[in-house]
Amino acid sequence: MWLLFAATLSFGQKFYHVWPYGYHATFIAPYISTSMMDFSSGSYNTYKVNHKRNFSGCVASLCDSTGKLILYTNGVSIFDAKGSMVPNGDSLNLGPFFSTDKQEGFTNGQSHYMVYLPGSTNHILLVHLSVQKDSAFIFRQGPIYISYIDRISDSNFIVRKKNQLVYNNGKFGNISIFKHGDGQRWWGLVPELIENKYHFFIIDSTGMSFSHTQVAGKSLEGTYCHAEGSQCISPDGSKFMRWSNSCGIRLFDVDRCTGSLFNPREISIDTIFYPGAGSAFSSNSRYLYVNSETSIYQIDTEVEPLKLLEVAKYDGYWDFFEMAFFLMDLQPDGKIYINTTSSNTKLHVIEYPDSAGTACKVNQHTVNLASLLFKTMSRHPNPLLGVLKGSPCDTSSAVHEPGTLPRGFSVYPNPAFDKLTIELDDGLAHDEAYLVRCYDIQGRVLYRGVFPPFAYIHNIAVSDFAAGMYLVEILNEEGRRVVSKFVKE
């Protein structure tokens, strides 16, 4: 069976379709502004807004179900969509660097997440990982805080409580947020810095609390590890990856019911990947991408042993500054965007992350931004991931019987040139995965892929298709289908 996961939320819930970006300087120039990266229309649109907030790496944002931005933070303050500070939304993460952070923005790029508390769109939780000073020259990430934000009207909010301590027992790496197997609550996962200990937290309707700590994988004691890189959860919630430029890559399978890691695998890295430390999974959760500052690598997680395959090398292009690879993440249009080690007005992009090898098509410095971006990269949880069907935490009493598959998707552009996009709408049932196939008029299958239940956009590279008429077909597990025509020019 290829039907693995089911979600309870509709495709219309575009909670993470806009992320702000900007620069950390306080002076004004035409290329320095607060701007938005907006995916609510299906593809990215970037534009300046008429207010300026400083960013120094950290960003977290939240939209309503239609993809309209409602809140965001730079790790220092919480702002509404107009850029106004939310009442009581100042002075987050008070610590040794706050005076600098207040001017420039919080620096850690994988430390803040905004989520709706389960069962409500009026109560929002900001999870934030701060920084503290252990001695004169030693700093560490932590403690873990939460702040509560309440909606008091359609576009007005208030921070009810802020900087509420959740946990401070350890030296932390980064933080990841993913859906519990019950499809309602969230898990928080925070590794211990340069150790094989993993702290799990539960987010429910009351807030966030510590759950348990697990020791998983090989001990890092006595290794060359000296730094913590990035980490990510696959879109289907089945895999967790943690890596640094000195400790190598550590991949685990995830049990979303119990909050546990198992089946550890690793890739040792002989060369230090510095300063690049990005990571992201493809939308089908099969391919994992990591980067050094000069190379992007793909890992097929379904092939053992795990191997690094170089799919792109930095071409040396400069914008304002050098555009070496830095951080990356999968965005709502199904593409992986990559920022740079310096401030620039362009991004790199992996066009087809679900494709093996160089067919993933890394396009360098082709994404034009509305203003200068300084190291900000949206890292958000997957809100469409739902109940893990058939698992111990599946508490639904009803037995799902798939109905007739409605004509609930759009195919564009039509005619197509190099890429065809399939976008599912709210009319298509969201409790099963779908098989996607493309045929020519002779009935030959030219493309076959899986449209998972936790995505709503699927991109197909058609540049190698000959000019002519084609059919694209979507099938559910029972063989019910819808078919649409498109033209390749």
The pLDDT tens digits for 305-317 are 999 999 999 999 9
Tell me what pLDDT residue 25 has. Answer: 64
Q: Given pLDDT bands bounded at 50, 70 and 90, which one contains residue 29?
A: low
Which long-range contacts does 286-289 make (Cβ < 8 Å, 24+ apart)?
286/354, 287/353, 287/354, 287/356, 287/360, 288/234, 288/239, 288/241, 288/249, 288/251, 289/328, 289/336, 289/350, 289/353
CB 312 within 8 A of CB 295: yes
On the question of pLDDT at 149 being above 90, the answer is: yes
Alpha-carbon span 288 to 153, nearest angstrom:
41
Helix (H) or strand (E) holding 104: helix 98-104
Tell me what pLDDT residue 428 has. Answer: 45
On the question of pLDDT at 237 being above 50, the answer is: yes
Alpha-carbon span 159 to 175, nearest angstrom:
22
Q: Which is higher by pLDDT, 333 or 7?
A: 333
Mapped onto helix, strand or coil, the DSSP state of residue 102 is helix
By the 10 Å C-beta count (0-12 exposed, 13-18 middle, 19+ buried), 88 is classed as middle
Q: Which is higher by pLDDT, 243 or 6?
A: 243
| 164-196 b/e (C-beta count within 10 Å ≥ 16 → b) | eebbeebbbbbbbbbbbbbbbbbbbbbbbbbeb
Quickly count: other Cβ atoms within 10 Å of residue 49's Cβ: 18
pLDDT digits (tens, 9 = 90+) for 119-137: 898 999 999 998 876 655 5
DSSP string for 386-413: -B-TTSTT----SPP---PPP--EEEES
DSSP string for 279-342: EEE-TTS-EEEEE-SSEEEEEETTSSS---EEEEE----BSSSB--EEEEEE-TTS-EEEEESS
On the question of pLDDT at 170 being above 90, the answer is: no
Q: Which residue ranges make up each domain of the chain?
A: 18-373, 409-488
> For the ranges 9-23, 127-141, 218-232, 387-401, which has the lowest average pLDDT?
387-401
Question: 123, 150, 291: which is closest to 205 by C-alpha?
Answer: 123
Alpha-carbon span 72 to 69, nearest angstrom:
8
Residue holding tokens 């991109």? 459
> For the ranges 116-125, 211-220, 448-457, which has the lowest average pLDDT?
448-457
Does domain 409-488 correspond to CATH entry 3.40.190.10? no
Q: Return all residues near 137 (Cβ < 8 A) that are at least 6 apart.
A: none
Quickly count: other Cβ atoms within 10 Å of residue 132's Cβ: 17
Mean pLDDT of 165-189: 92
| 102-131 b/e (C-beta count within 10 Å ≥ 16 → b) | bebbbbbbbbbbbbbbbeeeebbbbbbbbb
Mapped onto helix, strand or coil, the DSSP state of residue 106 is coil
Q: Which amino acid is at 378?
A: S
**What is the rounded average pLDDT for all residues in the chain?**
83
Q: Given pLDDT bands bounded at 50, 70 and 90, which one contains residue 114?
A: very high
> Per the structure block, which two tokens stand in for 200?
């799990």
Mean pLDDT of 336-353: 94
Mean pLDDT of 366-380: 89
Tell me what pLDDT residue 12 has. Answer: 47
> Per the structure block, which two tokens stand in for 469?
């008429």
Which CATH number does 18-373 carry?
2.130.10.10
Helix (H) or strand (E) holding 103: helix 98-104
18-373 and 409-488 share one fold = no
